[in-house]
Structure 1
Amino acid sequence: MKLNKLKNRGPIIVNATNIGERMSGIGVYSLNLLKAMATMNTDIQFIVYLNKNAKKHFTEFYFPSNFQIRWVSRWLSPDYGFYGHLNRLLFANYLSFKHKRMLVFNTSQLVVNFFRRNQIITIHDVIPLLFKQFHKKQYPYFKYLLKYALRYANKIITPSQHTKQLLQEIYHIPGEKIQVIHNGVPQSEEAYPETIPFTQPYILYVGRVCPMKNISRLIQAFLKLQNHIPHRLVIVGEGLNYIRKEVKAGRLPEDVLQNKRIVFKGHVENKDMRGLYQHADLFVFPSLYEGFGLPPMEAMAYGCPVLVSSAASLPEVCGSAASYIEPENINHLAEGMLKLLKNPTFRNKLVNKGYARVKQYSWHYSAKEHLKILEAQLHSPQATSPKEETKPSVLTNSLK
């Protein structure tokens, strides 16, 4: 894609410090969007801020000359939890002053510039507002602070119509200010890798292990089935402390962590995920809420049949390529898994529908739509062309 020449405009500041060593959904979005934008033919100049923990994801990737990459302290990484989030928020507002006449693109709702109009923000979800009991630290930010940034921002990007509607209802933001751009997913129908992850058949879950992801009910549903099926339940994602709390609260049996039929894999590198998806008999995603829902789409891309929650944006994103369950009904979840495991014809039908569905979601198309918005904002009256300091700042150096 060739955009209009923008040589008289200053560069766009991209704050992508939310990419950590270990990837979250927001990190996956920022990483893939950056790489896709870097392959497109555009005259837009970018200054991209990344934390040093993200370097491993760019070791074999080279940015074109219109991308200037600035590496900042690893302590801004989401790998450091709440303190990493706080550091990134402070750094984002430092950038707002440092580049006060530049257009800023913040790729996460957790790093916004307060009281600044010349910015674009991607809002992935508003989960802390909907489930306060699970997000006590983030709730005040979403309730009292984020709304000011959203009201001032020139444009808001969100990955689903469902999230757009929530932003309109909760923050009273005009619909024309919010642009829905779906995330992309990997496009792959490659053959199975030679290494088979498990000798036994298995059901797969990928994502954080936390209350929002409904893992406790997933385990309870599996325990109802384990004597009727030969499968293991493989859970990929960090958060074993949550499982221990569920055991302590009596919602899971005390021996769940010793159950050999339930495998907690923890963090798995991206290079190993394809095999896990491709060899699974079923991918289950019973989340209570998603702003988009990348793991089910990744499962479809790798030829795995998908069973998902009927909550939030998941029906919008997955369409008829998935089977659905009521996420708070353990019996319905168990019945949904058993129905698919006992019906290979239905599973194959979902696999074929999944391949067709993921073709609607590409990072190339997503990047193209993002660039259209960035170009439009550069042409707006607020976009100027001041002299830009090219040397790294004192604050940036002090964070190393």
Structure 2
Amino acid sequence: MVFSTIDSQLPLHTSIQLPYEGASPKTLFKNILFAYRNKAKINHITGDTHYIALGLGRNTVLTVHDVQSAVQISNPLKRLYVKLLWFWLPALIVKRITVISEFTRIELSKLIPFAKNKIIVIHNAFNPTMEFVKKTKNKRPVILHMGTKPNKNLERVVEALKGIDCSLIIVGKMSEKQLLLLESYTIDYKNHYDVSYEEIVQCYQRCDMVSFPSVYEGFGVPILEANAAGRPVIAGDIPVLHEVANDAACFVNPHSVDSIRSGFIKVIEHDEYREALVAKGLKNIERFAPKAIAEKYNEVYKELSDE
């Protein structure tokens, strides 16, 4: 999805899907062999298959979306396996490494200090199918919460919304614990998962505001989606979300239920503040236009072709 938004802006190329899924040594070997047989003059690894750099060789660009998948693994042997084949060896081989945020650049530099000079930041682009649709104030606001993994902070959001007359749309498969929490707080909600991007767009258009008080992110695409759709967004007060949103979000302490609740109330009750966030959001997404992001990748490809 990230690269489909800029696909038409890139030079003539072929997008290839790897044939085998999983992370077993056998799967990795087969995918590396497939990559070797299908490599071009310039190659770009855009998904979480960094290890195929072993088959593609030096004339390769590697995009790293996330670092926590390696450093948070508790099993020491598995953590070493991931660090070696997803980060250390690919970093030694490829000529350029792109990351989606300055925050990710800092994290990745700690993991591969020997290759930190190869790293450059190219942000994600917003998806142009997420169009602005003006929304009139709703007496009973509809709040869209994006994501159900622990870092997405759904549990604190549910606690923060207790007693606020609203409807909650949750995108992402919920755990039994999350379902029980929603029931215990008697919050009106709808849950969507395994949905198409067209359905995601519809969720943004139906809502009055977006809930994204994450405690950790590598980037924060829902902020761009909220900005593009013309919806105010409540965001976690963490460096990477400031990097993405600039001043186009209502920032809250993601570890404080009271702070999250205050953010929702401020956006719900203050019309001028809400409208200002929408205006700032429409300005903010200009930095992430697909054409501008694609140009940065094209510059990287040109550098490799000239070397």
* Correspondence for 1:171: 112
Whether the aligned pair in 1 keeps the contact of 2:50 and 2:90 (CA below 8 Å) is: no
**Distance in 1 separating the partners of 2:187 and 2:306:** 59
- 1:176-227: per-residue Cα shift (whole Å, max 9, x none)? 311211111135654459xx9x9953111123x211222222222223xxx2
The amino acid across from 1:253 in the alignment is L
Q: Which range moved further: 86-95 or 170-179?
A: 86-95
**Distance in 2 separating the partners of 1:189 and 1:32:** 13
- 1:289-333: per-residue Cα shift (whole Å, max 9, x none)? 211111111111010001111224111111111111121222211
- Cα 1:328–1:140 change in 2 (3 A) is farther
Q: CA deviation at 1:169?
A: 1.9
Count of residues paired in the alignment: 302
**Distance in 1 separating the partners of 2:132 and 2:204:** 12
The amino acid across from 1:300 in the alignment is N
Whether the aligned pair in 1 keeps the contact of 2:158 and 2:182 (CA below 8 Å) is: no
Q: Which range moved further: 180-189 or 333-342?
A: 180-189
> Secondary structure of 1:50's partner?
coil
* Correspondence for 2:143: 203
> Does 2:84 correspond to 1:144?
yes
Whether the aligned pair in 2 keeps the contact of 1:128 and 1:138 (CA below 8 Å) is: no
- 1:331-381: per-residue Cα shift (whole Å, max 9, x none)? 21122112211212111110000000011111111111111111211222x
Q: TM-score scaled to structure 2, two decimals?
A: 0.85
Alignment match of 2:176 (pick from 211, 221, 244): 244
- Structure 1: segments with no counterpart, 5+ residues: 1-27, 52-72, 77-82, 381-400
* Correspondence for 1:332: 259
**Distance in 2 separating the partners of 1:142 and 1:84:** 9
**Distance in 2 separating the partners of 1:272 and 1:100:** 35
> Secondary structure of 2:170's partner?
strand
Q: TM-score scaled to structure 1, two decimals?
A: 0.67
- Cα 1:85–1:277 change in 2 (3 A) is farther
> Does 2:230 correspond to 1:297?
no
Whether the aligned pair in 2 keeps the contact of 1:185 and 1:358 (CA below 8 Å) is: yes
- Identity of matched residues, %: 24
- Structure 2: segments with no counterpart, 5+ residues: none
* Correspondence for 1:253: 181
* Correspondence for 1:19: none
What is the root-mean-square deviation of aligned Cα atoms in Å? 3.2
The amino acid across from 1:205 in the alignment is H
Whether the aligned pair in 2 keeps the contact of 1:303 and 1:355 (CA below 8 Å) is: yes
- 1:12-38: per-residue Cα shift (whole Å, max 9, x none)? xxxxxxxxxxxxxxxx1122232332x
* Correspondence for 2:284: 357
* Correspondence for 1:128: 69
* Correspondence for 1:34: 7
> Does 2:232 correspond to 1:232?
no
Bigger Cα Rg: 1
Q: Which range moved further: 270-279 or 337-346?
A: 270-279
**Distance in 2 separating the partners of 1:87 and 1:365:** 39
Alignment match of 2:17 (pick from 50, 60, 83): 50
**Distance in 2 separating the partners of 1:170 and 1:263:** 40
The amino acid across from 2:64 in the alignment is I
